[in-house]
Amino acid sequence: MRIEVGTRAVAYDDTGEGQPVVFVHGFPHHRKLWAPQLRALSAHSRVIAPDLPGFGESDMPERFSIDAWADGLARFLDALGIERAIIAGLSMGGYITLAFWRLHQDRAAALILADTRAGADSEEGKQKRRETIELARREGPTAVARTLLPGMVGKSTRAREPSVVATMRAMLESASVDSIVGASEAMMNRADATSSLATIDVPTLIVAGEEDVLTPPRESQAMHAAISGSRLEIIPAAGHVSNIERPAAFNQVVSEFLAEL
Ligand code: MLT
């Protein structure tokens, strides 16, 4: 499906009925990252997964920025006629979810923060982004995918689930150079969300893959300590894309969380 949000079209999947849950993908993913959740959770909830502007089948954004994507998410909810939703974000999607909380908290019924962190990039992190940008410009998305993939997928999944690795490789390779560059710059320039964690007063589920090396479980533990009443779930034998590596375990913790709301 596609919907006009301002002057640009956003592609999205929308299935099921009940309380809306909006799933926000990471970098450089698209909405199909959430296919296992849409399949499983649509029995009890309305589950919606947009392609962030610049990714998948959505139009390019006016500018790449985490706050602009968060504002765009609020306008996307307006376009769908949704007042409040549960916002679930993985990694870069989690940065956007935390920005959404800062900018539009009255629109968030609950939060799900998966394999993400609250802090801004370190100097070392920024240097890695510059290298990704250079590689994208010099050799294109396939080279970027080759570099990112080992960190993206956990070691157990890499050893046992070649189909998950293939799915992620195809997803990473589908991103355009402009979007890889734009999103890398957006992440480099994002605000540190640590101080806003204490303001979160809606039910919050934090999920992390045990083997996530990009946003290690200690990041999730720190967010859990800072968000009063939050729930933390560690998914065994899963890496950074825990939702697609161990979908049954991920869906189980999300279903339990949604059922308790
Ligand atoms: C992601 O999966 O969205 C990225 O790993 C986030 C990042 O590079 O900080």
Q: What is the pLDDT of residues 140-179, one digit of tens each?
A: 999 999 999 999 999 999 999 999 999 999 999 999 999 9
Whether ligand 1 lies within 6 angstroms of the CB of 112 is answered as: no
* C-alpha 228 – ligand 1 centre gap (Å): 25
C-beta separation of 226 from 206 below 8 A: no
Q: What is the pLDDT of residue 126?
A: 98
What percentage of residues in the chain have a pLDDT greater than 70? Answer: 100
Mean pLDDT for 87-98 is: 98
Best mutation site among 92, 116, 168, 172 for ligand 1 pocket (most ligand atoms within 8 Å of CB): 92
The alpha carbon of 152 and the centre of ligand 1 are apart by a number of angstroms equal to: 8
Assess whether the C-beta atom of 239 lies below 6 angstroms from ligand 1: no
pLDDT at 241: 98
How far apart (Å, rounded) are the C-alpha atoms in residues 209 and 97? 18
Strand partners, 9: 4
Structure tokens at 155: 């070691």
Span 17-41, mean pLDDT?
98
d(CA 140, CA 149): 15
Residue 185: pLDDT band with limits 50, 70, 90: very high
Q: How far is CA 10 from CA 31, 69, 75, 204, 220, in A?
A: 11, 12, 11, 26, 30
Return the CATH number of the domain spanning residue range 2-119+192-260.
Answer: 3.40.50.1820
Give dist(CA 217, CA 115) in Å, integer: 8
By the 10 Å C-beta count (0-12 exposed, 13-18 middle, 19+ buried), 188 is classed as middle
CA of 26 to the centre of ligand 1 (A): 6
Q: Is the dihedral of CA 183, 241, 95, 221 positive or negative?
A: negative
Mean pLDDT of 220-240: 98
Q: Provide the residue ranges of all domains of the chain, joining segments of one domain with +.
A: 2-119+192-260
Distance CA 91, CA 72 (A): 18
pLDDT of residue 51: 98
The ligand 1 atom nearest the CA atom of 117 = 9
Q: Cβ(69) to ligand 1 under 6 A? A: no
> What is the pLDDT at residue 127?
98
**Helix (H) / strand (E) containing 4:** strand 2-5
- What do you get for the CA distance between the two ends of the chain, in Å? 28
What distance lies between CA 71 and its chain's CA centroid? 15
Collect all residues with Cβ–Cβ distance below 8 Å to 123 and sequence separation of at least 6.
none
**249 Cα: distance to centroid of ligand 1 (angstroms):** 21
Pairing of strands 20-24, 8-15: unpaired
Atom of ligand 1 nearest to the CA of 26: 3
Q: What is the mean pLDDT of the chain?
A: 98
pTM of the model: 0.98
> 92 CB less than 6 Å from ligand 1?
yes
